[in-house]
A and B are shown apart, each in its own frame.
Chain A
């Protein structure tokens, strides 16, 4: 399944930041790369529904995500951030259970049997059993990131948006997170902003390059195109 960004317009009045007629399609594990301020995070926020585009559609599985209600969208999209609030008193199970929130039947959230089953299933899948009863705030960066991925899985969403999820992790943990993403990829769309492309490119199915609110490259993950974009073609041979 693909996610189509169809002619999106969005701008911040004051800063002159303007995305115009942005068009791309996202499939499999897609890397979103580009310099700071090129509009990557803004694009993620638009897909997430935090920012409303002035015009255009975001199509997935025949539905326009822009027009969807927040609660319905929460069943389709999950977000994995770079930083997470260190909330105290929540163990790993509680954190993953939060992913079931969009599935509440009434106005009020109550944990149901199927929610508990889903959370257990995810804990097994991501091999988090040993951490299940530990407090989230006491985990290491890599462990926390895995828990957040597990929460996204419990959310049963088909689109994962990641904003530099490995930015503060060491090499071992970076690879572990990417391996986890590879394992759960199935027929999902994973769109990730990564500040370190060398390892993540090996895992990606597609690469999108953004510069000054425009898409300058979309296609196969390719280090040469990336180096060319940054004006570093001379160094390609050294890598």
Chain B
């Protein structure tokens, strides 16, 4: 764990010197790059922990906030909020949270209406995710002034990071992180058979509801400021489990660190690989994540 944290700090330092302006002035580093790399770490960590906890409660290693529609629901509502001229503080994150919760409720509703099937949830998640992304893309296209935004919303980007957004995301991240660390024992017990959990005094349904709220909160706050970044929450929990097993007290922090590192590297690639053009970071994570998803699908991992 300490090794990975140290590595994260090293990557963070290196990332400060990557960008179109090269080895740059103090002002650029402090006010543009530092918030951006911090945002990358926070968003990567948030998405990973969100994915990890969702995989635990649904006992399915193929789930994550994007594939469950949570991210797309958030993104659609954030876009809708940008069309409302009324201003109030934290408009985007508040809309995002509602959008995410709306989407996950729909997904759970659709998947529960039929007999239990481990793939039902995943498939309803993907369907709702596609539906919301489709509505979002449609709305963006019929509003020409907004077309430039399409990449930001659908493929995610850290380019809008600022100190204000870093502060908002870090507050939500730390509250949720503490929640997940404190609940790590219950999350362990949820991995057991349902009857065992009951006999140990843990009621899975109650914990599940809390976990859905917190993981949606984490993912939606990211979406509000960075658009949809998929697959981080799928890949990192899997890697953490391979490294450390399934004890949540260990893999919640580890997923945070590794998720931060992954998104940081992906963002460096997105900024550095093409001269003068920035590739949305969600494209990089999808290019990595889809083969990973297929690999897991073929392996049919439960968790």
Contact = CB atoms under 8 A, between A and B. Distances in A.
Contacts of A49: 198
Interface in A24-51: 44-45, 48-50
A74 B200 contact: yes
A176 interface: no
Contacts of A79: 195-196, 198-199
B201 A73 contact: yes
A81 B246 contact: no
Interface stretch (B82-90, B147-155, B182-190, B226-234): B182-190
Contacts of A90: 188, 245-247
Interface string B173-192: 00000000010011011011
B201 A71 contact: yes
A94 interface: yes
Contacts of A81: 193, 195-196
A101 B185 contact: yes
Interface residues of B, number: 25
A166 interface: no
Contact of A98 (B189, B198, B246): B189
A70 interface: yes
B251 to A, nearest CB: 8
Interface string A172-209: 00000000000000000000000000000000000000
A75 B188 CA distance: 19
Interface in A89-119: 89-90, 94, 98-99, 101-102, 107-109
Contacts of B202: 101
B199 A85 contact: no
B249 to A, nearest CB: 10
Interface residues of A, number: 33
Residue picked from A81, A89, A102, most chain B C-beta under 10 Å: A89
Contacts of A227: none
A78 interface: yes
A104 to B, nearest CB: 8
Given A88-B245, A89-B250, A108-B182, A101 B196 contact: no
A74 B251 CA distance: 27
Contact of B244 (A48, A89, A94, A163): A89
Contacts of B246: 87-90
B175 to A, nearest CB: 15
A94 B200 contact: no
A84 interface: yes
A99 B200 contact: yes
A214 B296 CA distance: 46
Interface in B267-299: none
A98 B201 contact: no
A108 B185 CA distance: 9
Interface string B225-260: 000000000000000010011110011000000000
B241 to A, nearest CB: 7
Contacts of B188: 87, 90, 98
Contacts of A108: 182
20 contacts: A48-B199, A50-B195, A73-B201, A78-B200, A79-B198, A79-B199, A85-B192, A87-B192, A88-B246, A89-B251, A90-B245, A94-B247, A98-B200, A99-B200, A101-B201, A107-B182, A109-B185, A109-B186, A135-B245, A155-B199
Interface of B: 59, 182, 185-186, 188-189, 191-196, 198-203, 241, 244-247, 250-251
Given A81-B193, A89-B251, A155-B200, 13 more contacts: A50-B198, A74-B199, A75-B201, A78-B200, A79-B195, A79-B196, A81-B196, A87-B188, A88-B245, A90-B247, A98-B188, A99-B200, A102-B200
